[in-house]
Amino acid sequence: MNALQRHTTVLAICMWALASPPLASDSARAAAPATRVPESKLPVGTWRFKKHDRPVKVIAMGGSSTIYYRGNYTKFIEMSCRNVEIKNLGKTGLAINHMKVRYDRQVARNRHISARQSEIWIMARGGLNSIFNPKRVNWFMSKLFKSAKKRGFKTLALSLSPWGRERDKDRWWGVKGLTSKRATQLTVDFLMGRLTPEVALGRYAKSAEWQPGELPDIAVDLYDSELRTRSAALRNRRTARAQLAEARFVRKQMKHLSPLERSKMLDALVAEAVDLPRWHLRKDLRAFDAIHPNTDGHRAIAKAACPKLPENWGCDCKLMDRIVWGKRGLEANDVRTAHAQE
């Protein structure tokens, strides 16, 4: 069994946790608003970019992390990249299909947004609200990228960041933890171009090869980054092995394997399970729960993305360390001066 087959098999074993409760915040603040206009009923966008001295236009798409109220990564990028103007179209609780609809109505059908007038980038980051159907997440993302490419836009994908905590037994206990990790990893590997359409999209795949525009022009892996808790204590190996060996769906998948193959597969699952605490969001970068990064977490996201941003964005990555949250929002004492001197 090669690595790709192992990846697919283990994901299939673990997907029994699809019956887990929907992904939700540990805080009422992160809950979806009580009143919401369905994405399909959104008016067609009429907004415009306003900063004529910033020739590169970026449209940010995503969920609640994209619009974090105490400074999000889009703010860090815009303040550090002198040629960039960002329009943030993020929204709390946005499922992946609704993000695509939001793009269709607010961007694709907006007569004021045209690649003939400006260099336009779609900066997409989302999927956590739909993470337990990762192939569907990938499919909608690929559709969004392809639609943007047809309109002459360029695409930038920021992957999901580490999330969760050990105390979350609904999504991170035993085999459920492997499901959460594997599902998230599948969306990351798709964005990074590490998978074939069949593996990334499953039944949604239409071709054996990626078609033009289905993958982003630039992708940033935030999952395996400085945002995760690399030094966390490992889970107890004996406990993890006992949990996995007793899991009904694991036993079912191993039923037709030889004893040696069964042992090897169980060893691989145990190795992944004990490592799960190191794929959670660092405590010092958490906001009001273990899903949403705080201001420094968003700074880390922007700093991870910055080296990959195009040269014509005019980014000074060092400025990101000087940006702070003040009474009037994000501030940076030397940002304007530094840009002027250049």
Cα torsion angle, 77, 78, 81, 86, sign? positive
Q: 11-16+37-234+275-332 in CATH: which number?
A: 3.40.50.1110
Model pTM greater than 0.85?
yes
The mean pLDDT value of the chain amounts to: 88
Q: What secondary structure does DSSP assign to 205-219, as a single string?
A: ---SSPPTTSS-SEE
Bigger pLDDT: 176 vs 26 = 176
Q: For the chain, give the percent of residues with pLDDT over 70.
A: 85
Pull the structure tokens for residue 253.
């998948």
Vertex 47, ends 94 and 303: CA angle to 5°? 60
What pLDDT does 174 receive? Answer: 81
CA 165 vs. chain centroid, Å, equals 17
pLDDT of residue 14: 44
End-to-end, the C-alpha distance of the chain in Å comes to 55
Please report the pLDDT score of residue 334 as a whole number: 53
Q: Quick one: pLDDT at residue 248?
A: 87
Give the pLDDT confidence score for residue 179 in this predicted structure. 93
Would you give the DSSP letter of residue 304? Answer: H
Tell me the domain boundaries of the chain: 11-16+37-234+275-332
Q: What gap in Å lies between CA 342 and CA 337, rounded to an integer?
A: 9
pLDDT, average across residues 25-47: 59
